[in-house]
Structure 1
Amino acid sequence: MEPSLHRLRLLHELERRGTVTSVAAGLGYTVSAVSQQLSLLEREAGTPLFEKRGRGLALTEAGLVLAEHARTILSAVEDAGHAMESARAGVGTTLTAGVWASVATTLLPAGIAILSRDHPGIVVRSRELAPEDTTGAVRDGSLDLSFVLDYSSYAMADVPDLVRLPIAQETLHAVVPRGSMPSAQVSLSDLAGAPWVIAHPRSHFGRAVRIACRDAGFEPEVRHEAGEQSTALALVAAGLGVTLASDLGLSTFPADVDVLPLTDGLTRTVSITHRRRDARRRPLQAFVAAFTAAAREVGLDPPGGV
């Protein structure tokens, strides 16, 4: 039996994700294409690898055995690639990074400029994802690395297989319609009676803001849910509520808003995460160094605000 690496990867993903539909969605294939490749793998194995369970597929004992070997084989192939990458000292290396909108518009261009200057052989590709979706994509190998966030009111859970390297700290500011607040700074409790524009509570940002408001003694009345900070700022400019925004999110903002310091001292830490087993990859180390420098260049504080 000489199964292709591609089919072994699909088997590995099926074991990890649980359904053919999830495998197809995660890897960008159609469900029928994944099913066809898994059927070919089963034919190559000469023994049943899958069994129907409800509306999905479960691995048989033989399927589980092959999936375990698939993990070992795929890991060895990846290690070989990284070894060759190190031998080339980064020449011709491509890194795929997960970003979100405010990183993509401000930090990404500055970081790539530094990386291109210092390590011209490293090419960066970016993929925009919601911050809460990035760690899963790094863990399963869809991304080499990603930017992630920890809020002072709500920290992300540690992922054992991943390393998180803080590169900057952002301050969160209150954003209100122009002239609506008489003071030069506010607390969250000063905004308790206002309608709010924030992200869905399933998002890290939406959850962090709600937790901070509750800690300040009130439940925000969310009038408008907006995932992108630029959208939230536009709604505030139209007089439809108040919001919070980070330093990166305020790289551009409408004229019809006031940005006020928060006395509550809310912050969020920007980190780069990658798989622990990739820690010795020189291109990853170069990426982290370049974007740490880029964070200072665009005016962000170092981690901890030191």
Structure 2
Amino acid sequence: MLNLDRMELSLHRLRMLRELNRRGTVTAAAVALHYTASAVSQQLAQLERDVGAKLFERLGRRVQLTELGMLLAEHAEEILGSVERATMALEEAQEAVTVRLTAGVWASVASGLLPSALTALAAEHPGIQVRTRELAPEDTADAVRDGTLDFSFVIDYSDTPMPWDPGLERAVIAVERLHAAVPTGAVPSGTMSLLELAEHPWILASPRSHFGRAVRVACQRSGFDPKINHEVGEQATALAMVGAGLGVTLVSDLGLTLLPPGVDVVALNNPVMRTVAIAYRTTAARRPSLQLVIDAVRAAAAELGLGARSPLP
């Protein structure tokens, strides 16, 4: 029986309900929210007790929402949206910004941009705390859309533009070149074409990743398919394998901070370019804290000679 007279809805549990509705399985919702599946199941069971009605039905491995569950999930979207708008209104009304933001990052951004950006931000605006969560670049935008992150760093390649969610906006931070990373002495110094690497063994990320797909497309447009001997996801791992003489790869400007011994970096005549941006929900565009973070990261990129302010389409 519905507990309408004493029902108190937890925002925490409503977020779990929203993710379950979006993703269809408890496991997928748990991954999105960075909880265990058992923790999400327990919280959803408590939500049913709070409401006093059956909200879910199991269909094999999937969980289907009942009519009441769907009704509550629809209102959860509105409730959580209202909470976000109220938070922004309170932030705008403060003379000094005090807030905690969670950002999605990947290795080269975390090592190449964030240390100087967050140090400067802390000095000028100590009330803004930025926490980071390392994700694959192709996963960060989804986490922002779903509300798991306040903002994230995203990439877009010149030859392989990525699909974009209309509910998100991007602020351009930097424009990077990709360079050839080869074992020391493997190729002449100076510049080279991508085609000159055609006969070398390659170390590259999976084509399911933005980086792996973009490099494959660039090689194919240069007239060859790379011979991939080692498929690895982490750029630092790929560079370590280059340093051991196991093959070649490409590395971005920010990725140069990850170089191990034994690697030569050679400029490409026609380099692959990529744009680094900060993605955030359109509803968060007016948040003072977000704009201050964007300004700090842009300044850090400009100090490295990678600054860019042009809008993305």
After TM superposition, the score normalised by the length of structure 1 is 0.94
Cα distance 1:150–1:21, how it changes in 2: closer, same or farther (>3 A)? same
Question: 1:227-259 CA deviation, whole Å, 9 max, x = no partner?
Answer: 222222221121111111011111242342221
SS state at 1:206 partner: helix
Query: Are 2:242 and 1:247 equivalent residues in the alignment?
Result: no
Partner of 1:223: 229
Shift of 1:212: 0.6
Query: Residues of 1 paired with 2:42 and 2:35: CA distance?
Result: 11
Structure 2 unaligned runs (5+)? Answer: none
Task: State the number of aligned residues.
Answer: 304
Runs of 4+ residues deviating >6 angstroms:
none
Cα distance 1:28–1:265, how it changes in 2: closer, same or farther (>3 A)? closer
Alignment of structure 1 residues 111-130 onto 2, 5 Å: 111-130=117-136
Query: Are 2:311 and 1:297 equivalent residues in the alignment?
Result: no
Partner of 1:58: 64
Contact 2:299 / 2:307 at 8 angstroms: preserved in 1? no
Query: Residues of 2 paired with 1:28 and 1:301: CA distance?
Result: 33
Query: Are 2:32 and 1:13 equivalent residues in the alignment?
Result: no
Match for residue 93 of structure 1 among 86, 92, 99: 99
Query: Residues of 2 paired with 1:92 and 1:52: CA distance?
Result: 43
Query: What amino acid is the match of 2:37?
Result: V
Shift of 1:7: 2.2
Question: 1:115-169 CA deviation, whole Å, 9 max, x = no partner?
Answer: 1232221111111111111011111111111111111121221111110111110
Partner of 2:263: 257
Question: 1:37-81 CA deviation, whole Å, 9 max, x = no partner?
Answer: 222322333333222223221012221111111111111122112
Partner of 1:73: 79
Query: What amino acid is the match of 1:13?
Result: E
Shift of 1:30: 2.9
Contact 1:89 / 1:282 at 8 angstroms: preserved in 2? no
Contact 2:88 / 2:287 at 8 angstroms: preserved in 1? yes
Shift of 1:183: 5.2
Match for residue 288 of structure 1 among 294, 300, 303: 294
Contact 1:170 / 1:301 at 8 angstroms: preserved in 2? no
SS state at 1:201 partner: coil
SS state at 1:251 partner: helix
Contact 2:103 / 2:132 at 8 angstroms: preserved in 1? yes
Match for residue 151 of structure 2 among 127, 145, 148: 145
Contact 1:169 / 1:303 at 8 angstroms: preserved in 2? no
Alignment of structure 1 residues 138-217 onto 2, 5 Å: 138-182=144-188, 184-217=190-223
Contact 2:194 / 2:219 at 8 angstroms: preserved in 1? yes
Cα distance 1:240–1:30, how it changes in 2: closer, same or farther (>3 A)? closer
SS state at 1:241 partner: coil
Shift of 1:90: 4.8
SS state at 1:146 partner: strand
- 174-183 vs 132-141, which deviates more? 174-183
- 138-147 vs 247-256, which deviates more? 247-256
Query: Residues of 2 paired with 1:258 and 1:236: CA distance?
Result: 9
Query: What amino acid is the match of 1:20?
Result: V
Shift of 1:226: 2.4
Structure 1 unaligned runs (5+)? Answer: none
Shift of 1:6: 2.3
Query: Residues of 2 paired with 1:273 and 1:131: CA distance?
Result: 11
Contact 1:90 / 1:283 at 8 angstroms: preserved in 2? no
After TM superposition, the score normalised by the length of structure 2 is 0.92
How much is the aligned-residue C-alpha RMSD, in angstroms?
Answer: 1.7
Query: What amino acid is the match of 2:250?
Result: L
Query: Residues of 1 paired with 2:157 and 2:90: CA distance?
Result: 38
Question: 1:181-214 CA deviation, whole Å, 9 max, x = no partner?
Answer: 2352111111111100111111111111011111
Shift of 1:298: 2.3
Query: Residues of 2 paired with 1:262 and 1:114: CA distance?
Result: 33
Shift of 1:8: 1.9
Aligned-pair identity (%): 58
